[in-house]
Amino acid sequence: MAVSISHLGYKKLSQMIFEWQAVDRTSLLALFIVMEVSLHWLWCLLVWLQQDAVESYVNIHYLYPLWFGISLTGLFFLCMYKYLPHTENKNDALDEWQIALVLIYTFYIATVIVVIGYSSLFAGVSVVGGAMLGMMLIKRRYAWRMFWLQISLMLMAIIVPYFGVSLPNLRQLTVIHPLIDTHNYLTYNELMAIENAIAASAFENNILGWESISEVQRSSAFFWRSTHLYLALPKAIFIVYMFRSLLLVLDDSRQETLQHANQDGLTQLKNRRYGLKKMKYTLATVQDHQDLSVMLLDLDWFKRINDNYGHDVGDQVLIEVSQTLSQSLSDEAIISRYGGEEFLIVLPNTQHDSAMVIAEQLRLSIADKAISLNNMFEFNVTASFGLYTLTHKERACIAKTYKSILQKRILPQTETVPLIKPIATQRAENMASMQKLPSDICQRLISAADKALYEAKHRGRNQVVSANKMLNETTGGTHTLYKKR
């Protein structure tokens, strides 16, 4: 596909990162380089048009070869941008194109930084910004090597003048230049501070006035600082924009990943894993005086629906039952698809009688829901419910029993050293305070509700059975989920 500037938007950037082919991303990076090279080319044009005004501090002899090199580089990357989308997406050929892009761009940027005059702002934005864009659009190992190659070339440009190697530089030091015999990268780096100090002497009381503008211009400081800002700021702004968009894309992707990880794809309810996680969190944060009810429901004769009408109709039934549950329950309720045609509902701060009323209302709502089959005929489904309510008194009893068991495990009966016992006791109390209920408490609650659900099926389906009532009948009203061992 052909890429263009219109692909720089937030939504297009998202598609670029996750959907585009590698050849299209490489083509887009070539387009970005063309944009950067165009800024450099326009600067050369401006200097050429104003050469009479700037010839005192710009070496025009170096301008022409630099301009020619910029033009050739721009044409190369423009051809790459135009040619790449029409090539076959072969890995070997694409690797060669990416290597060529990295090498040519690296030497180009190093040359421009040296010839136009070193600036920490310009060099930093060019080196870091280029590597960051490369990490997004081409193979990361190539972008990483490009970064280190640019660093190496910058270090070499700083070191080689100490060995008598002169490097070309467009900037002429207007005040100091006549006093020295050589003019290279080293003299620019080391004498620019003196040049700037002379420019600063044109200010009175550290204030720049209109009468001192000409003095600053004659010292060339104003021109070269403006040049470095012109070369660095557009790229810096563009890089920040790109990574702002990238962070937005990553935020959306994170939300989407969490949604898929926590949500059942068919019913859009929470899945089993997340439902159990929320149930465990609710148990850990429930108030001391509050009860918690757990409801497990299963659709009756669901296998017959799949066998008689097909799995598509079965999926439709699950979706419509899920919608009924979501519409009938409050936001505080935790609704999840527990598995197949089973649904788990956790009702925080809900007493047993209230939970039974809610379950009965849900049973009637599901039974009254007409499932339309291709607008030809309708049928109804029913559901069986098993309910268990963990009262605050039983929860306190479980916590007390569990704390006692923890203390016995941590404090052996043979413990006789008085100085060690308080420390171990404190450890036991700390552990008990962090985990007041046993780790399998959720499964015990669900197991109790599941036994009631099985009893509802045994009694003829389409009804609600209370596990609390079943346990009271079998234990004489002294049931508990967690007995002291």
Domains, the chain, with CATH or none: 5-259 (no CATH), 272-475 (3.30.70.270)
Q: Does residue 216 sit in helix, strand or coil?
A: helix
Q: What is the dihedral of CA 298, 301, 306, 307, to 10 degrees?
A: 160
Which has the higher per-residue pLDDT, 227 or 243? 227
- pLDDT at res. 421: 47
**Is the per-residue pLDDT at 265 higher than 90?**
no
User: What is the distance between the alpha carbons of residues 186 and 158, in angstroms, rounded to a whole number?
Assistant: 7
Tokens of 468: 């609390």
Residue 9 phi, psi (nearest 5): -70, 165
* pLDDT-derived band at 195, boundaries 50, 70, 90: low
CA 49, 51, 57, 62 dihedral sign is: positive
Cβ(203)–Cβ(157) below 8 Å: no
Average model confidence (pLDDT) across the chain? 80
334, two tokens: 């935790």
Query: Does residue 358 or residue 154 have the better pLDDT?
Result: 358
User: What's residue 182's pLDDT?
Assistant: 47
Say how many residues make up the chain.
485
* Integer CA distances (angstroms), 469 to 297, 446, 476, in order: 17, 15, 10
CA-to-CA distance for 439 and 428, rounded, in angstroms? Answer: 16
Q: Which segments within 26-160 are labelled E, that is strand?
A: none
Cβ pair 402, 437 in contact under 8 A: yes
In this structure, of 31-40, 173-182, 359-368, 382-391, the range with the lowest mean pLDDT score is 173-182
Give the residue-averaged pLDDT of 354-379. Answer: 88
On the CB side of 467, how many CA atoms lie within 13 Å of its CA? 27
Is pLDDT above 70 for 161? yes
pLDDT at 14: 57
Whose tokens are 């211009």? That residue is 217
What pLDDT sits at residue 185?
A: 45
To the nearest whole percent, how much of the chain has pLDDT over 90?
Answer: 33
The 3-state DSSP class for residue 345 equals: strand
Enumerate the β-bridge partners of residue 344. 296, 336
In the chain the first and final C-alpha atoms are separated, in Å, by 70
Express as a percent the part of the chain with pLDDT over 70.
76
3-state secondary structure of 6: helix
Q: Check whether 373 has a pLDDT greater than 60.
A: yes
What is the band of 433 on the pLDDT scale with cuts at 50, 70, 90?
A: very low
Find the mean pLDDT for residues 11-28.
Answer: 71
Cα–Cα distance for residue pair 165/151, rounded to 1 Å = 19
- Distance CA(54)–CA(254), nearest Å, equals 53
pLDDT band for position 166 (50/70/90)? Answer: confident
Backbone angles phi, psi at 44, to 5 degrees: -60, -40
* This prediction's pTM: 0.57
